[in-house]
Amino acid sequence: MQVNAVIRAAALAAVLVLAGCSGAPKVSRIGTDTVTDVSGRWNDTDSRLVSEEMIADMLSRPWIEEHRLNYGGRPAVIVGRIRNVSHEHINTETFVKDIERALINSGRADFVASRDERDVVREERADQDVHASESTRSAMGQERGADYMLSGSINSIVDAAGRRAVVYYQVDLELISMKDNRKVWIGQKKIKKDIEAGAIRP
C-alpha cells in the first residue's frame, strides 16, 4: 500500500513538473487603446486610428455644410462595401464598426443601419404589428433613408528582402450622394511599416 502511494505521489509530481515546463503562455492585460504591433500586420490599432482620422477629415469638408444649407438637419450616412484587396486577411467588419462609431460619436451625422440590420428590425416591426399594442407599436414605412453612401477599399504593397519587409497600406474611401451619384468627398490614409527580424507572408 505504501509503495502504491509513493508511486502515485511520484507520478503526480512528474505531471506537475511537466505542466510547469510545457511553455504555457504568459498573459498580461493591456488597454484596448494601447498601440501594439506584434506581427506588423494590419491590426485593431490601424483600424481604429484610420477610421477616426478619415471620419474627422470627412466631417471637416464643405459637403456637410452644403447639405445643412440645402436640406437642413444632419445628413444620414450608410456604409456600403469596404473591399479588402490587400495581401492579407483583414476583417473589414471591424473596420466598418470603427467607422460607424467615429461617425455617430461625432454628433454631426446620422448613421443608417445596414441591409442585414434593417432586415432584423423589419422582422421585429412585423412582429409588433401582430403582438404589440397600438400605442407602443412602431409603424411600417417610417424608416430614415440614407443621404450618402460611404464605400472604399484597403490596399497594400509589400517590399521584402531577407529578414526585412516594408509594408505599405492605403485606405481609400468615397462618400457618394444617393440622390444624384455625386462624389462629395474622397479620403485617403496611408500607413507604412518597417518590419525587421522576421519574414512577412501573405
Which range marks the domain in which residue 190 is found? 41-196
Please report which confidence band the pLDDT of residue 65 belongs to, taking 50, 70 and 90 as the band edges.
Answer: very high
The answer as to whether 31 is a domain residue is no
DSSP class of residue 108?
A: S
CATH of residue 132: 3.40.50
C-alpha cell at 78: 450608410
pLDDT in tens, 38-60: 777 888 889 899 999 999 999 99
Domains: count for the chain:
1
The answer as to whether 186 is a domain residue is yes
pLDDT in tens, 113-149: 888 888 899 899 999 988 889 889 888 888 889 999 9
pTM, full prediction: 0.75
- Report the C-alpha gap between 49 and 105 in whole angstroms: 14
